[in-house]
Chain A
Amino acid sequence: MYRILKKQKLNASVVRMEIEAPLAAKHARAGQFVILRADARGERIPLTIAASDKARGTVTVIYQIVGGATMSLDRLEAGECVADLTGPLGRPSAIEGLKRVVVVGGGVGCAIALPLVRALHEQGSYVVAIAGFRTAEIVILEEEFSALADEFYLTTDDGTRGEHGNVCMPLARCIEGGKFDAVFTIGPLPMMKFVAKTTEPYKIPTIASMNPIMIDGTGMCGCCRLTVGGERKFACVDGPEFDAHLIDFDEAIARSRTYRAFEAAARARHCNLYQRSENEGGRYE
């Protein structure tokens, strides 16, 4: 049913998969996500749509191998099928009319930043892309970003590649030096929190793509709830993108750790090969 057409490792623990799913591909747009299950016992894994192809009837997702569910998914190879795939879910990114935009991706979040950069590029916006990683070894999608963005900055925490430091440094320079309509940010929660802090004094509309724990993805369970501007929002139907200046990031960070102990046990059960990244949300990118 949902056949894997291509599988490609982007770094030691990040994998790109193109999957046949005509129903999800039909209306898929940048910013939306799918939920898939590797097998009949599998957890429902929310993954942002990295690319989609209506003609081929496929969606492409990028996942990081971080827990039991993604380890099960990673056992499948091209030619095999995932048990279920639902989508597109969530609202598409609101990019219409934006002329000058900065897109800030962190770690595997860059996988979601890329389709956004592509969509902006295609509508003729001037796009600055900033991608941050822990270290050179895990840098992904560098060529793709360079090809699509008008300006591209790469940072690593340890200085092994690109600029030494975090994404907020090039971001601060950009917004100091020019006028931008919006900043989009996608990555670990602490990073997005600091991106929001960086842009706040400049009053630049800043949008964060949130990745809370999810089950159904249709507004039924409420486990993806966030506080935005003092109001309760469900990331799966009201988002996943929200005004970063209004998001209660500390609460989101606390909630993302609900199943820490369970996840650690599941990882230990599967194997000890992989290390979970900072990004402890439900969306395993």
Chain B
Amino acid sequence: MNNSRIPMPVQAPEERIKNFSEVALGYNEEAAISEAERCMNCKTHPCTAACPVGVRIPEFIACIKEGRFEEAYSVVRADNALPAVCGRVCPQERQCEGSCLRQKAGGPIAIGRLERFVADRHAAQGGTPSKAPASGRKVAVVGSGPAGLACAGELAARGYAVTVFEALHLAGGVLAYGIPEFRLPKRIVNQEIAALEEMGVTFVKNAVIGRSLTVSELRAEGFAAVFLGTGAGLPNFMNIPGENARGVFSANEYLTRINLMKAYEEDAETPVFRAKQVAVVGGGNVAMDAARCARRLGAEVTVVYRRSEEELPARREEVEHAREEGIGFAFLTNPVEVLTREGDVCGLRCVKMQLGAPDASGRRRPTAVAGSEHDRAADCVIMALGTSPNPLIGQTTEGLELRGRGEIFADENGRTSLRGVYAGGDAVTGAATVILAMGAGKRAARAIDEDIRSGIL
């Protein structure tokens, strides 16, 4: 038996900073089998318990060991609607892999990489998803991000006629506009969407629910239920001077220009700001994505984060990849002003921070060190400070109960304050992860199915 984790083949850093192609290249069969053989199939299955959607991990790994790859895929797919996506973007170190008993024995089993392997292999093989007998009822899904796709998939599998409404011109939500090509190739997203279409799901793009159509109009048009998976799209800012100068962008804007509008391509119609020295403020996956995009567009990049390295919320692999690509980190540093010259960004004034007692999030609260003000050079600042729910649906749907920052109120099965209206994902929880949103979408689909069957809808 192999002792340590099989490394993931990657594009060399000096090469990949010149392109937007995928960084991690994926295991081949041999590597997958060797990695699978490291699994001890321990009795307690802590990995499955730590998976937000409860994938039967030891079972699919056992299939890989024996070369039964298609079967492995079916096991994963039974609980996870988007395995090719999750294998790439889940924070495995805090979920399945974080609970693996082999932690100290050569490292945890590379569960994410194995999940990706079986999904990619299945896609390469091509297979037709099974169609359930039609139930004769229609359900509308608002938003085609992870929550919406998972909900649509689950409902289609149960025989519902599902229509997904998307505000942008491409489906996928954050998978399309947010996560860059080099981390999640768009062909993977398109494959997943094509698979849903084959199951009979209809996608209506360029439809802004709350403006083009309202939720109550959807109900009136004969949709038995409406699922709101509108995500948390509204970008947060710091409210510091200079934040509206030319050269300050929300990470959402910067990433949308690059991922959705392909602004990095030669002769693209949509522009993206070409900077020399970029400061990215924040420490999550979105901050890493923005930093690595800026690097690929030729800039020197520093990530400015107010806590220490230990608290970085980004996936560990993204931080490692960012470092390899020559991205700098300024920890315990917090901007207090964007410096400008004639309307253009020319720097970032920061203070040093120190960590005090833990705050509500359980992380140690950073406070400014007196007299620690200092300036960093930058001609572009990207704010990756998290997002809040989009208020559009709340504003235009009478009777829909909201909470604190405009999150939609829903119970653990996605039922909102309005009969026939369900919600899940970031729109309910505030910004979280792809996999949590998918879990919520799926639970809501089950609740919808239950309520329709029991005659409530």
Contacts and interface: CB of A to CB of B under 8 A. Distances in A.
Contact of A221 (B205, B207, B253, B268): B253
Interface in B377-408: 390-392
B234 A254 contact: no
B249 to A, nearest CB: 7
A219 B391 contact: yes
A215 B257 contact: yes
Given A219-B234, A219-B392, A254-B343, A89 B246 contact: no
Given A44-B270, A84-B205, A237-B391, A257 B246 contact: yes
Interface in B405-434: none
Given A85-B206, A215-B256, A218-B392, A266 B269 contact: yes
Interface string B39-51: 0000000000000
B449 to A, nearest CB: 28
A223 B249 contact: yes
Interface stretch (B153-161, B208-216, B436-444): B208-216
Interface stretch (A22-30, A109-117, A135-143): A22-30
B355 interface: no
B270 A43 contact: yes
Contacts of A258: 246-247, 273
A216 B167 contact: yes
B261 interface: yes
Given A23-B206, A43-B269, A84-B205, A215 B250 contact: no
B269 A69 contact: yes
A222 B168 CA distance: 15
A84 B207 CA distance: 10
Given A86-B169, A216-B167, A221-B235, A68 B246 contact: no
Best-surrounded residue of B247, B252, B392 (most CB of chain A within 10 A): B252
B240 to A, nearest CB: 11
Nearest to B204: A23
A216 B168 contact: yes
Contact of A89 (B208, B234, B256): B208
Interface in A222-259: 222-223, 225-227, 232, 237, 251, 254-255, 257-259
B271 interface: yes
Band of interface residues on B: 35 or more
B237 A222 contact: yes
Best-surrounded residue of B177, B235, B271 (most CB of chain A within 10 A): B271
B212 A23 contact: yes
A75 interface: no
A223 to B, nearest CB: 4
Given A215-B261, A223-B253, A41 B207 contact: no
A222 B256 CA distance: 11
Interface in B167-212: 167-169, 177, 205-208, 211-212
Given A24-B212, A216-B167, A251-B244, A44 B249 contact: no
Interface in A253-280: 254-255, 257-259, 262-263, 266, 269
A26 B392 CA distance: 18
Contacts of A266: 269, 271
A198 to B, nearest CB: 25
A42 interface: yes
A178 B269 CA distance: 48
A219 B261 contact: no
Given A86-B212, A258-B246, A269-B267, A44 B390 contact: no
B246 A255 contact: yes
Best-surrounded residue of A41, A218, A263 (most CB of chain B within 10 A): A218
Contact of A216 (B237, B256, B262, B343): B256
Interface in A14-57: 23-24, 26-27, 37, 41-44
A83 interface: yes
A219 B177 CA distance: 14
A261 to B, nearest CB: 9
Interface in A182-232: 215-223, 225-227, 232
Contacts of A221: 235, 250, 252-253, 256
Contacts of A86: 167-169, 206-208, 212
Nearest to B236: A222
A266 B272 CA distance: 13
A281 interface: no
A87 B206 CA distance: 7
B368 interface: no
A157 B213 CA distance: 43
A13 interface: no
B326 interface: no
Contacts of B107: none
A93 interface: no
B269 A23 contact: no
B245 interface: yes
Nearest to A263: B271
B233 interface: yes
A38 B272 CA distance: 19
A255 B268 CA distance: 21
Contact of B237 (A44, A220, A232): A232
A109 to B, nearest CB: 23
10 contacts: A24-B212, A41-B269, A218-B167, A219-B233, A220-B233, A220-B234, A222-B235, A226-B244, A255-B246, A259-B271
Given A220-B390, A257-B343, 18 more contacts: A23-B207, A41-B268, A44-B270, A69-B269, A86-B212, A87-B211, A215-B256, A216-B168, A216-B233, A218-B167, A219-B234, A219-B390, A220-B256, A225-B237, A227-B244, A254-B246, A255-B244, A258-B247
When A and B form their complex, which 8 residue pairs have the shortest distance between CB atoms, in order from nearest? A254-B343, A220-B233, A262-B271, A221-B253, A222-B250, A43-B269, A86-B206, A84-B169
Interface of A: 23-24, 26-27, 37, 41-44, 68-69, 72, 83-89, 215-223, 225-227, 232, 237, 251, 254-255, 257-259, 262-263, 266, 269
